Amino acid sequence: MENKIEVRNFNFYYGDFQALIDLNLPIRANQITALIGPSGCGKSTFLRALNRMNDTISIARADGEVLLDGKNVYDPDIDVADLRHRVGMVFQRPNPFPQSIYNNVAFGPRVLGTAKKQDLDQIVEESLQGAALWDEVKDKLDKPALELNPGQQQRMCIARTIAVRPEVILMDEPCSALDPVATLHVEELMRRLAEKYTIVIVTHNMQQAARASDWTGFFWLGRLVEFNETTTLFTNPHQELTESYITGRQG
Amino acid sequence: MSTLDEAPAAWQEQQPSGAPAAKRNWRETIIETVIRLCGISAVVIITLIFLFLLKEGAPAFMQVPIRDLLGVRWYPIEDMFGLLPLLVGSLLVTIGAVVIAVPLGLTTAVYLGEFAPPWLREILKPVIEVLAGIPSIVLGFLGWVALAPLIQAAGAATGLTAFTGAIILAYMALPTIISITEDALYAVPKEYRDGALALGATQWQTIWRVVLPAARSGIVIAVMLGVGRAIGETMAVMLVTGNAANIPAFGLGAWFQPVRTMTATIAAEMGEVAQGSLHYSVLFAIGIVLFLITFAFNSLATRFIGGRSRRRGGQI
């Protein structure tokens, strides 16, 4: 199986505090990789390190390698905007821009100049269909995105992300602000998206990781304790810490 | 659900035992009444000011034909009350000030809020806020002593021109525009920036397409307050614009000729007119015109903001 991303000897620091310690793991192409662990264990930091969203924090510092198709994304000659175009991100709280639905989804292609004007309508429609939202919003594309309910907003954010045709989609607890029905929508959507994209999802919800992912990594205090196929990790964990966490005795 | 049932009991315990209900209600009533009176009095006073303005200015509109009021000659001694030169003077100075202050103020705010390193921002922001406190007459003095000679040296017939006034007014408006715009940019949620950056937008694209539009209502308020300060300004303008009540030749050169603004006219002549005379009424009429312009400007701006900011209400 092909590795889309390969993380090697990766450390991450906020000032003097080391948030991630010597991480090594593969992210398989066209699969869903879930990252679980208690709050503050570094899983979100790790996710944001993959597309260098942590660059916006001035005291943050990384060493080691994150190889995207074999090329280290922390190399000095990497264009960070281009990296984030290839490795998109969906955030914990739906964050639509205070603009219309159409303009939200068309934002990426417009900014990147990847689409001609006449193709925009089609891209917006395809992206919204890809995010399973088209039928609900096709008659109100010019309405403010903030009028959608949270579940719709989150799917719109996913549509906005796939509108730029990324290769990897990072999801940072995408369902934590959603109700169970909306959560189910997003999980089904992830499954469909994995046919085209490589997906990494951080989740608090172990059932979600067990249900929706192919691979699971368990983080504890900045270290990757265990990484394995999801079924193996949940049914037959090799580490005691993993077992006590997933059975609810620890964490 | 149990917390709901327990809540009333908890509230009752928190009530100060020494204050009986009747006494507290009585206190509430007094406070409410005082607040209500303050609120009403503000509205009443503003209405009274407007009525006074109308009463004193109305004779001008009745005794001087509208055609004369729109005339190009302002010679009050010969009973020629053409307001056009004053209107043009005010417009030239104000437009000039806006054209200078708005782009300069917005770019400064964007630099401070988005690009400047934190330590520089910590220094510049308080300095700019102190600038807002400089008395306008000091700026006018500065314009007269330092700026006017420069402008004359640059080729204008005199240094006291509409342009000189515009620069001084722009610098009066700048601190307000910068400071409030920066606050508005700061208030834009980090989630918006993250969202744009995560799509592959550069820092500048993020600012231009997401942050600035999201901060629009705050920026409009910044410009309104800044320009509002400039429009009503009198003394500094009087010092540096040359005070010639004539209509400058049409074109860009208009800014480099002396003008006289409406505010400066009132300030300069009010002390000399006989109370109740026609000249006196016309000065009040100028006040009415100023009032209407400011009012129209404010309503336009509020309407612009109103349509946009309400959408934020949909946010969770």
Gap between the Cα atoms of B305 and B299, Å rounded: 10
* Residue B306: band (very low, low, confident or very high) from pLDDT cuts 50, 70, 90: low
Which tokens belong to B246? 């004539």
Q: Which value does ipTM take for this structure?
A: 0.89
Specify burial of residue B295 (Cβ count, 10 A radius: 0-12, 13-18, 19+): exposed
Of residues B198 and B296, more confidently modeled: B198
Measured between beta carbons, which residues in chain A are less than 8 angstroms from residue B196? Answer: 97, 107, 111
Within 13 Å, how many C-alpha atoms sit on residue A36's CB side? 29
- On whether residue A241 sits in a domain, the answer given is yes
Gap between the Cα atoms of A103 and A21, Å rounded: 40
- CB-nearest to A108 from B194, B200, B315 is B200
Check: pTM over 0.80? Answer yes or no: no
Number of domains observed in the structure of chain A: 1
B contact set with A (CB within 8 A): 118, 189, 191-202, 205, 209-210, 213-214, 311-312, 314-316
Tell me if chain B has a CB within 8 Å of the CB of A142.
no
**Dihedral sign (CA B191, B192, B196, B199):** positive
Query: Which domain CATH number covers A121?
Result: 3.40.50.300
* Closest-CA distance of chain B to residue A65, Å: 20
pLDDT digits (tens, 9 = 90+) for B246-255: 777 777 777 8
Q: What is the DSSP letter of B274?
A: P
Tell me if chain B has a CB within 8 Å of the CB of A179.
no
The H or E element spanning position A34 is strand A32-36
pLDDT at B178: 94
* Residue A178: band (very low, low, confident or very high) from pLDDT cuts 50, 70, 90: confident
What domain range includes position A101? Answer: 17-25+33-220+230-246
Measured between beta carbons, which residues in chain A are less than 8 angstroms from residue B312? Answer: 98, 146
pLDDT at B16: 52
Average pLDDT score over residue span B130-140: 87
Gap between the Cα atoms of B67 and B65, Å rounded: 5
Which tokens belong to B84? 């056009």
Q: Which CATH architecture has domain B66-314?
A: Orthogonal Bundle (1.10)
- On whether residue A40 sits in a domain, the answer given is yes
- Chains A, B: CB pairs < 8 Å: 86
Contact between residue B151 and residue B159 where contact means Cβ atoms under 8 Å apart: yes
The H or E element spanning position B11 is helix B2-14
Interacting residues of A77 by C-beta distance below 8 A, sequence separation 6+: none
* Residue B18: band (very low, low, confident or very high) from pLDDT cuts 50, 70, 90: low
* CB within 8 Å: A53 and B197: yes
Q: Which long-range contacts (CB under 8 A, 24 or more apart) does B18-27 make?
A: none
Gap between the Cα atoms of A14 and B263, Å rounded: 57
pLDDT higher than 60, residue A191: yes
Amino acid present at A126: E
SS3 content of chain A, % helix, strand, coil (to 5): 40, 25, 35
Tell me if chain B has a CB within 8 Å of the CB of A165.
no
- On whether residue A12 sits in a domain, the answer given is no
